[in-house]
A and B are shown apart, each in its own frame.
Chain A
């Protein structure tokens, strides 16, 4: 952020005499524009503060450790992004993560041979939960905040009922590999966690999906579902697919979280709000139709970095929920203010939403 950026071909030629003093300002002026640039800057800022607290944080292994811990949240944020951008919420992901880990532990019960069958079952269960969320929301017209709140409570209660209140069983070693291990003996980094690679792959896949015709339809649905419907979009199937993707990604996150730390009774609690915080912080406007996958993923890293920072400042971890609440309110207030100011600035936003050539390229 501090190093002056050399002008890229796309940026307008700097006015004579104004270049040296305005470069740092340009970085700052990206801040209020929202979206990816803002959240990237906030993330950078938090990293700088962390570095002042703990210089060894950037020495490789600690950074990889951070990546390993943050990976599940990044994956959840991508899933939550898909649902939010389509104009809905998914509150069920935290409970789903908890349910999946507890169910997996009970069914595997330490038996390596059960790993793959149980993984397949988890995927099926995740897709089913997403399908139910999607169909109830779109066909029965229950607001998604209610639908997924219901799913959240049902999953929470059902798992408690099934296990008698506390999880039993154990995960197999093979199940724990993606969340716990990685490519070993890498110079400098020591270990590249599988979780980090998986999260990166999910983000790339998310970006590709949003560039595909489906992604455009999803975005259009979130922006104005009536208009989308009139232009021939089957809104219910588009949204249902988003819910299924969210639940599927929550299942993947469950595999990583279970792998990271094993089974405890509290696994997954409150994750839905952390994921929403991440997406909101990434500047994805609640209500849909705006924002990028990358910003949501950066939002997840930012939330995780902020918690790391709290910890390094020896703030009690009990303030995390309060901080999350503040972030959600502040980010939305900020975004809506930005929204109000958006109209005059619209011509400048145009390049972010190219209509002509990218549409063509996506059809290939």
Chain B
């Protein structure tokens, strides 16, 4: 009885070796996951072109208050929702989650904005439900707001697009104004949909920077968090499109789960196998861990596209790295409550409220570091809450 398992194990081992050999065929770049043709499911050429163009358009409104600016807005009348006494109106917010530092930063900003509006008597009670990234929970949260019947406006930050669409439609049918922000839903029943330019613009800002800064033939490693999330997929699709037109060699992409240890390990392994000249990331979480892999391997820093997270900005400044921080405007968390107060006052709002989305470049770095000097390292530089009453304690003492 002892021999068969031994043979089995031997055969398994052999299979491993053989399979390893077959993948080892030279320079079959696409087989190694470095394909540069975006997945059709996540790539919409028209939307890609539109977003890239929107980056060049000067938004309407005061540049000092980017959260109130809008790119090519189509104003919609909200007179039917005007409240006699906005100071008594209840605003309800169904949040997808506060499960990452970006959402935590944004939610603090939102709470501070609510406080300011309440003091001015522009909105009344503010109710929040947090779905902890659970679609079903969020559907029932929204239903609960509708059933309670005492919300005068409902704000939704959807957890996923398709699943939350019917819930948002239900909220619209109840007759109160609905405001959707961050991720979208497949309906236009809401009064306004607030979002920065989008994932294609983000991915393109990062990829274009690498193409500009690196010599032709340089190698680029892409670090992605998770597959299947639309905003992240759009960023990668845009990068693929731009890298495809360039002379850069994309080594491949790795899913990291945003975990620093994973990122450091993956980057270290790539460095063992050859040089990495540039790093593209679909979100900046763990960018510093990636840079540390270069330090520990004794190699020069790569050209890197991170995000406006402070740990990365500080590292960028200290080590004088060639970098860019693409931004998924965190200040967008202020806009929905401001929109609610405008709607309750019967003022016009843009039906699709596209907020500006400007990356932080080297020349603006000192300015953003100074503004956020007291902020913790997992805070986002473009949070846009400097003029709110709780600044800075609300963000520093989390």
Contacts and interface: CB of A to CB of B under 8 A. Distances in A.
29 contacts: A28-B6, A29-B6, A45-B13, A45-B16, A52-B21, A61-B272, A65-B268, A160-B99, A164-B98, A164-B104, A164-B398, A165-B100, A166-B100, A167-B378, A168-B378, A169-B377, A180-B292, A180-B296, A261-B263, A262-B311, A263-B260, A265-B258, A309-B20, A313-B19, A313-B20, A316-B227, A317-B254, A317-B255, A318-B226
Contacts of B256: 317
Contacts of B255: 316-318
Contacts of B266: 311, 317
A312 B33 contact: no
A265 B98 contact: no
Contact of A264 (B2, B21, B289, B296): B289
A42 B8 CA distance: 12
Interface string B15-39: 0110111011000000111000000
A48 B21 CA distance: 12
B55 interface: no
Contacts of A267: 259-261
B257 A168 contact: no
B3 interface: yes
Q: How large is the interface on B (under 10, 10 to 19, 20 to 34, 35 or more residues)?
A: 35 or more
A269 interface: yes
Interface string A174-186: 0000001000000
Interface residues of A, number: 52
B263 A165 contact: no
Contacts of B2: 29, 32-33
A265 B284 CA distance: 12
Contact of B260 (A31, A261, A314): A261
Interface in B150-189: none
Contacts of B263: 261
Interface in A257-278: 257, 260-267, 269
A308 interface: yes
A163 B107 CA distance: 13
A341 B257 CA distance: 42
Contacts of B104: 164-166
A16 B286 CA distance: 62
A62 B272 contact: yes
A49 interface: yes
A169 B269 contact: no
Interface in B278-335: 285-286, 288-289, 292, 296-297, 311
Contacts of B272: 54, 56-57, 61-62, 65
A28 B4 CA distance: 11
A110 to B, nearest CB: 8
Given A32-B9, A45-B13, A260-B264, A311 B269 contact: yes
A260 B101 contact: no
Nearest to B5: A32
A31 B259 contact: no
B143 to A, nearest CB: 24
A48 B14 CA distance: 11
A220 B5 CA distance: 29
B398 A163 contact: yes
A165 B9 contact: no
